[in-house]
Structure formats: structure tokens, C-alpha cells
Amino acid sequence: MSEICDFIDQQTEPPDLLSLLEQAEEESMRLGGACIGDGPLSIGMEQGKVLVHCTQGVSRSPTVVIAYLMRKQRRGFEAVYADVKVKRREIEPSENFVQQLRIWEEVGYEVWEDKGRTKPKRAYQAFLDKTARMVEEEDEGNYHGGW
């Protein structure tokens, strides 16, 4: 989830002014030395937009949007879900995704203990262990129900 949120941030945050000026200067030189005031200072100034989609737009993509807004706004699942539901009434993240969003909130929007992403935080590890047990039970034919 962190990688997805980072990607959305990169696409939606305005670029830093220094890189804009460097781009404008390079473009100015390419065009024959026109002044920055006369040239393309607006390069990259538009704020990006990101389309988050899945097959039906009911569970997966709303889950990503909710996770992103939770992290960006530092708000809990219930509040963000309610706001998104107002904008798009037909969303219904699966129970599995809701569980993961609650864990996302609990761990402070980062599921890993380390930068190398090798050690899950306790709540996330518990989720992984539970999921592994369910898969084992399903493989053994003992699983009766689920997500």
C-alpha cells in the first residue's frame, strides 16, 4: 500500500520550484536563449491527476483511494470511508480489504518495522499469519467459509 500511496503522491504533488526553473532554463536555451520571463516557466506547473480503477470500481479501487486518503489526511478508516461513500455510494470494499485498512490505520500507515521491508509490524504480522492459516485450512479441505 505504501508504494501505491507514494506513486499517487508523486503524480499529484506539484514539482519543486528549483526543478521547474531548471527545466525552463533548459527549454529557453533549446529555443535559442529566450528569457525565462518570455519562455515556458509553466513547464510541469499543472498538478497531476491519477485515475484509480479496477474492473467494477466497487472494492479494489475504493480501497486504494481510502488507504491513500487515510495516510494523506492522517484520518481513520471510518471517517475517510464515510467521506468517500458520500462521493461514490456504490462502493463496498471486501471484508478482507476493510481488515487491512483497519490494520493500515493501527500501524500508522506503514506496515513494516524496517526500511528494507523485511519485518512486518505486529498487527500486520498477525494478519499475515491468520491469512496463511486460512490458506492452509482451505488447501486441506477444512476451511468452511471466508472472505
Burial class (CB in 10 A: 0-12, 13-18, 19+), 121: middle
Length of the chain: 147
Q: How far apart are CA 137 and CA 146, in angstroms?
A: 11
Is pLDDT larger for residue 46 or for residue 138? 138
Look-up: residue for cell 490494520? 103
pLDDT tens profile 78-116:
999 999 999 989 999 999 999 999 999 999 999 999 999
Q: Which sequence positions are flagged as catalytic?
A: 54
